[in-house]
Amino acid sequence: MAVDFTHEPAVARLAEHTAQFVRDVVLPVEDEHNGVVRSEEIRRTLQRSAREAGLLAPHAGTDMGGLGLDMRSRAPVFEEAGYSLLGPLALNIAAPDEGNMHLLEAVATNDQRERYLRPLVAGAIRSCFAMTEPAPGAGSDPSALTTRAERVNGGWRIDGRKWFITGADGAGFAICMARTSGQPGDLGGATMFLVDADNPGMKQLRHIETLDESLYGGHMEILFDECVVPDDAVLGEVDEGFRYAQVRLGPARMTHCMRWLGIARRAQDIAVGRATSRDLFGSRLADLGMAQQMIADNEIDIAACRGLILQACWELDQGRSAAQSTAIAKTFCAEAIWRVVDRAIQICGSLGISADVPLGRFLREVRPFRIYDGPSETHRWAIARRVVRRHSAGGQ
């Protein structure tokens, strides 16, 4: 089957509409708040505007109020939304809610979909995904999971500590990964649980100060202390949590790439605008060879990111695991997007490191992407293992 990267006219129009919405509605709010918003009033106002524009939750199923875009169709829309740090929040496609919607659509029961997914798609509530733990617990190696869930009368008791839980502050519920069998290091034995925010056994300990600040709800450390949930809080099947995590992680890695690619394009636009208006050494900056090389290298990185994203999304839409293609795309995009922003700052010189343009903010926001959703080193290790395994099995 041939790979077709051409977007349908309706998707192309939706991307154009998103681009205009971001420029007219979202960018003024970003400028006013330096890309960092903590206000529920502002979040709800942005999402109300997106809903009125017909842009809210374009990835969610139509039965839940979304537009039902497949992975490949999400790419140009998410990229346009990502042109602003607040664009994904406005369209309700920001992490972790966007990934949790995908997971709930794939795994949740009908009752769970109505209770958690529908209000999440509508922006009435937010969510978080509680898997990462302080060392030596789950992180780059999810099998190190130490949080445990034990059966009790009528349900389960969860005990453990989580950290770096994005969006936890103000979330309506958490999807908590806990070990229900086996020991840390075992490849199976995890279960996902839906935990309401008002459960007294789920306690928010602290905000973790980080390089990035734009992800709504911050990053928190959470304690599950005799946190009792009913049997119907189990998401999917018991002991199948690691398998469900893969349902979420592959697509979520690609949507991260899509969103940050929008910021890379914005950085390039700022740099090219500066290069074409700045005169020095008897010519425009844009006419000097070293500046031209950086502009060209940015275009190459942006185009390569887009191609790798679309390849991985096509595989996901075909129902393939896409483990190798998503790992390759995530690793390359995380590093290429950083390079684009860094070059943009260099082109702009002193302006680039000033607060007069948002490039410094972009640099702080995109740097953690080389760690989030698996560090580049972990992905490279996995990529190489697959290649070696295929070669050892006689493949090409």
- CATH number, domain at 230? 2.40.110.10
Q: Which of 239, 271, 286 is the last residue of a domain?
A: 239
Instruction: Give the phi and the psi of residue 191 in degrees, each rounded to 5.
Output: -135, 145
Q: Which of 67, 87, 122 is the last residue of a domain?
A: 122
Q: pTM for the full model?
A: 0.96
Residues 71 and 93 in one domain: yes
Q: Which of 92, 122, 152 is the last residue of a domain?
A: 122
Q: How far apart are CA 357 and CA 345, in angstroms?
A: 9
pLDDT of residue 148: 98
User: What is the domain extent for residue 255?
Assistant: 242-392
Q: Please list the residues that pair with 190 across neighbouring strands.
A: 179
Establish if 227 belongs to a structural domain. Answer: yes
- Cα 50 versus chain centre, distance: 19
Establish if 2 belongs to a structural domain. Answer: no
pLDDT of residue 78: 98
Which residues fall within 8 angstroms of residue 130, CB to CB, at 6 or more apart? 162, 165, 168, 174, 175, 176, 177, 195, 222, 224
Establish if 1 belongs to a structural domain. Answer: no
Contact by Cβ (8 Å): 72, 105: no
> Which three-class secondary structure state does DSSP give residue 195?
strand
Residues 59 and 160 in one domain: no
Beta-strand ranges (E) seen in 282-353 are 283-284
Residues 226 and 251 in one domain: no
List the one residue out of 286, 395, 260, 233 whose CA is nearest residue 341. Answer: 260
pLDDT of residue 396: 57
**How many domains does the structure of the chain reveal?**
3
Tokens of 122: 């509508």
Q: CATH number for the domain including 28?
A: 1.10.540.10
pLDDT of residue 394: 80
Q: Which helix (H) or strand (E) holds 376?
A: helix 376-392
Q: What is the largest CA-CA distance in the chain?
A: 80
Contact by Cβ (8 Å): 217, 166: yes
Residues 136 and 225 in one domain: yes
Residue 126: which region, alpha, beta or left (left: phi > 0; alpha: psi -120 to 50)? beta
Q: How far apart are CA 122 and CA 117, in angstroms?
A: 9
Q: How far apart are CA 341 and CA 272, in angstroms?
A: 12
Residues 38 and 176 in one domain: no
Give the DSSP letter of residue 64: G
pLDDT in tens, 110-159: 999 999 999 999 999 999 999 999 999 999 999 999 999 999 999 999 99
pLDDT in tens, the chain (396 residues): 566 678 999 999 999 999 999 999 999 999 999 999 999 999 999 999 999 999 999 999 999 999 999 999 999 999 999 999 999 999 999 999 999 999 999 999 999 999 999 999 999 999 999 999 999 999 999 999 999 999 999 999 999 999 999 999 999 999 999 999 999 999 899 999 999 999 999 999 999 999 999 999 999 999 999 999 999 999 999 999 999 999 999 999 999 999 999 999 999 999 999 999 999 999 999 999 999 999 999 999 999 999 999 999 999 999 999 999 999 999 999 999 999 999 999 999 999 999 999 999 999 999 999 999 999 999 999 999 999 999 998 865
Residues 235 and 246 in one domain: no
Residues 198 and 232 in one domain: yes
Residues 258 and 200 in one domain: no
Establish if 3 belongs to a structural domain. Answer: no
Residues 230 and 246 in one domain: no
Residue type, 76: P
Beta-strand ranges (E) seen in the chain are 127-130, 148-152, 155-166, 173-179, 190-196, 202-207, 219-230, 234-235, 279-280, 283-284
Which residues fall within 8 angstroms of residue 172, CB to CB, at 6 or more apart? 119, 120, 125, 126, 127, 196, 197
